[in-house]
A and B are shown apart, each in its own frame.
Chain A
């Protein structure tokens, strides 16, 4: 009870300090000789209040204070302490408080760490960031207060959705948010830089680090979510083109694009308008995502409880932000007309523009695929579904030139370059096509498409491997990231081609056999834990080469809320994952068993880690 009260008032104090901060910032902006020390102190104070409020909520969860409505709705006394804590952000109110925490954290670090930029710029960035922060304070207090008081106080809470009770998902939201919400600072500083007409190469260097930070966290956040979906949702996929997944992919695509074109701005001082547009787009997409997820107009596995009032608030807020951005962009931004932009075909900047062109296409596919069904429903009330086949058809053909350009682009130099060692580039292309053909001809399906696709991925793979040797530590971060991407595409493709699966109904003692393996359901035992009872089925899997694996998938019957979940058993090895999951069939003695062998699963995760490694190395490069 006391924690909730403290949390609530801390939230109000945070809002007040935000307002005072904005007031002083405006004052300071008018006569800005030196930065008012009050600004940094107030920003710290605001962060402090939000941290207090956040811990207020965490502690309410820890002590299971059911007079707090959020705790009542999402917790239970029998839950392990770890999930009581992580339950704090496993719901709408708590996760919005996390939003606010990241927003205030980033502006504070921004003020602290930005030393070589003008005072006016720092202040203006703070003001824009405060507009967002205050908007979210009001949103939280008005529509989604995490500290609502319940009376009479319930004896017991409703519990956390069991599929959210998972270590990967426990840290997924904070990591994802650091990227997702972190992009707000890019938005604010882009607006500030535009207003002050200081979008230049040195500004690009300064904002690049912030872009990298957001990008790294967003990449890792998406990875964690994907790993979670793989083993917890229970059917062995890792990306479903689900609207909520798309919503996290869109800012990622925009950030990746920004990361590339910011280099052009840094080196050549061109593409100023484009960098600004991208900076604004990234955060706008994050906001759009929040709107889509929280308004409940999406049909998704991930949807929280939601209500229309919240959706409306975010929508209005989103439009205000877009309006401010457009106004600033068109009113203040003057494109440098004097030196019209001349580029050589063969140059790094041309290659990056090519990258941007394709990335924007991928972004528009995901955006249109996610949003179009909603529009159609509103306009003609006809419901359509846009699923994986749509995305595959529109993205895969474009991936082929994209991968090849990704291999050749980094071979170029800035301004003007000749393609050196053309012979080896062509030779590697030939080798890639040959290898792919030889591999793909073993499968009966889609020979041509798969050969071309796999060759282009192999091409990127070979060229990046070669670059590790020829370029050594020069551009190592870029090379690792591109290498990681080639590995990602290759792993996904081979995973798709080589996966095999079996669905069978088995009673105890029965077995299923095909040419590759034999599955025997040996016995079933029961286990009892604090917050769930489980049925564990013990399987013996004999592969055709005689290897025996024991696997024990589980059915968990959670007590609060009363939900049955299937816990897959996964044996991960370097080359392949064995994945087994059981389901109960009502009124039947048998289990529905799903067994899959999925090659290169581990490599999918490793390659995304490599991608983010590239980002991390790039972040620390200057400091080494």
Chain B
């Protein structure tokens, strides 16, 4: 059973989203997603300062099985990316919710996060898959 913490929100495309104290939002992919993708070998990070709207494909995670787009869970501007992933993309496999975060945005509207799924809805969706 994959890990689904309750302190983050989720999308149906398997990104997780966490609102930080400084008002930025951290984004990564879920434990369920990393498990389905298998060993991750490359991450193409988004460009800092790019302004992207919800649903836009913003970076690529490549595993031994497939290359998959990561979609913007909510609209915003990219403010930081996890440079550790450049050399150690496998961090997403070992630590998807903490050290394996992918990028941070400044959200266009913080309240957008409320539209995303909570842990129990996401768990139900994973079970259906």
- Asked if chains A and B come from one complex, the reply is no
